Amino acid sequence: MSSVVYDFSIVPAPEDIARHLNIQPDDFVYHHCRTRCLDGLPIVIEYTYMPFDLVPGLKKSQLYQSVYAYLRDVLGYKISNFHRIIRAVAATEEEAERLEVAAGSPLLELEQVGFLDDGTPFEYSVSRNVGDRSELRDISVV
């Protein structure tokens, strides 16, 4: 798995993002946009926000690898669960170009908030997946 990073910045949290991350609207967050590729073929585009104070030292170079590995292995966090909303959407012109599909192509969108084992939200993200290049697997434990 490889990545193409389009944006990596530190910005004040937009109000809706702050609400999902349980922070104040003016608190800083990392924002990044990247595509994840398998064998050089883009399979998903991700738009992610993470609280700046919670994820110290995140660098653009880490976005080319697994950010979750950085959280686990470097920061010592335990990722507990994700709350997801799944929907079908159409690729925008920009997404179509970045994902190498036709504009308007169907994408599977996952909007999610990730939580650490203490219940702290560490990530708000929207990923848009090319349907015929990936699949979603889910395990429910009751």
Nearest in space to 106 (alpha carbons), one of 134, 67, 137, 141? 134
The predicted-structure confidence for 110-138, as pLDDT tens digits, reads as follows 999 999 999 999 999 999 999 877 666 66
All domains of the chain in start order, with CATH:
2-130 (3.40.1410.10)
Res 142: pLDDT = 45
Query: pLDDT, tens digit, for every residue of 56-111?
Result: 999 999 999 899 999 999 999 999 999 999 999 999 999 999 999 999 999 999 99
Give the pLDDT band (50/70/90) at residue 1: confident
User: What rounded mean pLDDT belongs to the chain?
Assistant: 92
Do 34 and 95 form a contact (C-beta atoms < 8 A)?
no
Query: The pTM is what?
Result: 0.90
How far apart (Å, rounded) are the C-alpha atoms in residues 35 and 126? Answer: 12
**Sheet of 121-130, strand order:** 2-12, 28-38, 41-51, 121-130, 106-116, 79-90
Q: Average pLDDT for residues 13-35, to the nearest whole number? A: 96
